[in-house]
Structure 1
Amino acid sequence: MRTHDDHLKELYGLPTFTFPVPGETAGLPEPDAAAWRIGHERWEEEEEEMWIETFDRFRAEVDISRVRALIVGIWDDPEDTDPSEVIEGLLAERDRLRSLRSLFLGDIKDIECHISRISQTDVTPLLTAFPLLEELGVRAGWGTSLGETLTLDFPALRHDALRSLTVQSAGLPADVVRGVGASELPALEHLDLWLGATDYGADHEVADLESILSGARLPRLRHLALRNSELQDEVAAAVASAPVVARLDVLDLSDGALTDDGAIALLSGQPLTHLKKLDLHHNYLSEPVRHRIRETLEPAGVEVNLDRSDAEWEEDADGTVSPNISVGPLSY
């Protein structure tokens, strides 16, 4: 997982605008011209409001019936407080937020709170309450409060309008993976799951991805990202024979611990020459395998990203360079 050095710059094709602190709300953009970010940076000296208080000012000063995109920033202390109050506040305004089409929950920089420590909860009430929502993004780790684990939940549901679902996690629970796979999402075109590592709560197995990889409930899926996984080789091997791949434009297996074994398994499966893009950045691939991928796919017009990025490599005493994957995927 990459650390988040900055907040989202846009959402739903709209530039982000952070709702200001009290006394600085002159000259606000039109309600439908921005992705409104509610939540100030942690550790700011002027940080005096709770999230719900800022939201109360926002809904009083902005015509929220015209708001199309909302970004939820830091709430209280995300290490020991889940966003239940945030979700309740949004649900209470469901009738006024009738134009809302995109929502991101947990736009929190690494310096504010590591992704592995961001408390979460069941986010599906948001989908139930907003049947016209087209995009949902969630950033999730797990926290604790009074001995209770505060982690993401995503029970299976049906939503007819959702086109994009992104779950960024340091360790995705098996229940969440299975819940997404069991959901009926007939309009979904873009699915991005950060699978994570066992040290950070990932208890899923590759078999839990079966419903997603079958594509049976995702007839319109065109962009599939299963990334940031310490099991990236196993994921690649499963994807190699997955029925859903035949309908994809973009396949993303980046940001994980992908080695030659996974890449060779992927190339040995079904043809990938129909793809517009294959993203394998942050990898531990040897030059011969990197060459084989390019030789196989680039002549067919597939855009291939093999950037090693900040994947760690080490040089042996004899000068041989080899991957150092003992640290897992990336920093959490």
Structure 2
Amino acid sequence: MRRGDLSRFSSLPLSHFPCLEDGDPDAPRGAQAWRLWVDYGYSSEETFEDYFVRFVETVDTGRVRELVFGSWGAPFEDSADEPIDLLTQAADRFPNLRLIALGDISSDEAEISWIQQGDLTPLLGAFPRLEVLEVRGGTGLGLRPVSHDSLRVLRVESGGLSGAMVRAVGASDFPSLEHLELWLGVSDYGGDATVADLAPILSGERLPALRHLGLQDSEIQDEIAAAVASAPVVAGLRSLALSMGALGAEGVEALLSGQPLTHLRRLDLTHHFVGPLMVKRMAAALRHVELIMGEAEARHEWAPEGRYVAVSE
């Protein structure tokens, strides 16, 4: 079993629920955090549905606060709709569930763009007390606009996030959301979100509690930086991440000439294509902010303008 370390907000010791071929190790049946994983290599002796049913019948689900889903079979062929449906149907068995991480799958098992995701809407509807939802993979990922009073963290790691998904997030009411992180990815893998799609998020109207915003891993990172430079949501933030993308001098210049960012505690611009003089200007303007930039990435001939994102395939 491999672990992809998707969850950044899991805080409890994580127990792995064994597959049949693992035997029956002395797993703590009353554990509060579990990782579910079925062999993607088709050697499992049971389907994911049978595995999940056995999990529900074996552990004290009333104590479970965190669930991390690794492979649910062949993640590059089988969509996450199955684990989503199974968990949703069993929602009454998990009254204390607060964190769901869906797609804790390493690149050895499936590249991020290969992971077949599903519609997240049923999870948010079935678990009104859910506080953290973390997802890896953008292919097939869906969401309908929802209202959820308890969600504090929404993270989506993707090599390509659709404009429809971004618009659904922006159209949802998340009054308690403190941390929003979207890896937007590239058009080759479905990342067709535009700055216009981000406008409802940047307005902050439905995100009154937001303290961290990450709009990352984008081909249009300069355009995003320019939009962020005048975005109302920024005033309430403590930290901002525009990292992992094709950020260049144009984007940094927009940040420098836009609204003040000196109230931020942390600004992450790592994986950029900015010269040292511009980096120094940024550092001088934000002397009291934890500015994370590092050295510029090396340009490549195969990438448009030599720039590329950190995560795509």
TM-score bracket for the superposition, by shorter chain length:
over 0.9
Tell me, yes or no, if structure 1 residue 307 matches structure 2 residue 294: yes
Q: Is contact 2:299-2:306 (8 Å) kept?
A: no
Aligned to 1:66: 63
Tell me, yes or no, if structure 1 residue 206 matches structure 2 residue 192: no
Superposed CA offset, 1:240-278 (max 9, x none): 000000000010001000011101111110000000000
Question: Kindly tell me: are residues 16 and 327 of structure 1, through their superposed partners in 2, closer, same or farther at Cα, counting changes over 3 Å?
Answer: farther
For 2:305 and 2:109, locate their aligned partners in 1 and report how far apart those are by CA, in whole Å. Answer: 27
Q: Is contact 1:115-1:170 (8 Å) kept?
A: yes
Q: Is contact 1:38-1:51 (8 Å) kept?
A: no
- Mapping for residues 1-332 of structure 1, pairs under 5 Å: 6-8=4-6, 11-22=9-20, 23-28=23-28, 30-32=30-32, 35-40=33-38, 42-43=40-41, 47-142=44-139, 151-298=140-287, 301-308=288-295, 311-313=297-299, 326=306, 328-331=308-311, 332=313
Q: Is contact 1:192-1:225 (8 Å) kept?
A: yes
Residue identity matched to 2:130: L
Question: Kindly tell me: are residues 279 and 5 of structure 1, through their superposed partners in 2, closer, same or farther at Cα, counting changes over 3 Å?
Answer: farther
Q: Is contact 1:281-1:307 (8 Å) kept?
A: yes
Question: Kindly tell me: are residues 36 and 241 of structure 1, through their superposed partners in 2, closer, same or farther at Cα, counting changes over 3 Å?
Answer: same
Q: Is contact 1:9-1:15 (8 Å) kept?
A: no
Ranges in structure 1 where 5+ consecutive residues have no aligned partner: 143-150, 316-322
Superposed CA offset, 1:127-150 (max 9, x none): 0000000011111232xxxxxxxx
- Structure 1 runs of 4+ aligned residues shifted over 6 Å read none
Q: Is contact 1:170-1:196 (8 Å) kept?
A: yes
Secondary structure in 1 matching 2:56: helix
TM-score by length of 1: 0.87
Taking every aligned residue pair, what percent have the same amino acid on both sides? Answer: 46
For 1:278 and 1:86, locate their aligned partners in 2 and report how far apart those are by CA, in whole Å. Answer: 36
Q: Is contact 2:6-2:101 (8 Å) kept?
A: no
TM-score by length of 2: 0.92
Residue identity matched to 1:51: F
For 2:5 and 2:44, locate their aligned partners in 1 and report how far apart those are by CA, in whole Å. Answer: 17
Question: Kindly tell me: are residues 190 and 283 of structure 1, through their superposed partners in 2, closer, same or farther at Cα, counting changes over 3 Å?
Answer: same
Secondary structure in 2 matching 1:116: coil
Secondary structure in 2 matching 1:117: coil
Q: Is contact 2:6-2:105 (8 Å) kept?
A: no
Cα drift, residue 326 of structure 1: 3.5
RMSD after superposition: 2.2
Secondary structure in 2 matching 1:226: strand
Q: Is contact 1:41-1:112 (8 Å) kept?
A: no
How many matched pairs?
308
For 1:271 and 1:250, locate their aligned partners in 2 and report how far apart those are by CA, in whole Å. Answer: 13
Ranges in structure 2 where 5+ consecutive residues have no aligned partner: none
